[in-house]
Amino acid sequence: MLDDLDWSKRGEYMHAKHGISVALANDAVADLNRVVVSPDYNSASGRSVRIIGYSMLAEAVITVIAMSSGGIDCGVNGWLANEKDQRIYREAEVDGQN
């Protein structure tokens, strides 16, 4: 999961709402040092995962929300990582977890 997200339903929304293009989100997801929080700590259903990765295109840490639906891994949303997610990303690097 997570390597090839389908953005057909939410890509335009993400860009309009948060200014994050599909290319930036995919760049963060492809980060070899990404952190996957499963389930996402803010997920009401427990079905989504939070991917925190560095986008070289954006030169920033990006948070991406994804979930599997009908056997397809779908991108749900993405934004510039907040302080909490930036800390999770940095601490995982220091601890060698990613």
Q: How many helices (H) and strands (E) does the chain have?
A: 3, 4
Q: Which residues fall within 8 angstroms of residue 36, CB to CB, at 6 or more apart?
A: 2, 49, 50, 51
Longest dimension (CA), the chain: 36
Which tokens hold the place of 35? 């952190």
Average pLDDT over residues 7-18: 97
What's the pLDDT at 60?
Answer: 98
Do 1 and 73 meet the contact criterion of CB atoms below 8 Å apart?
yes
pLDDT at 27 over 80: yes
Prediction pTM value: 0.92
Radius of gyration of the chain (CA): 12
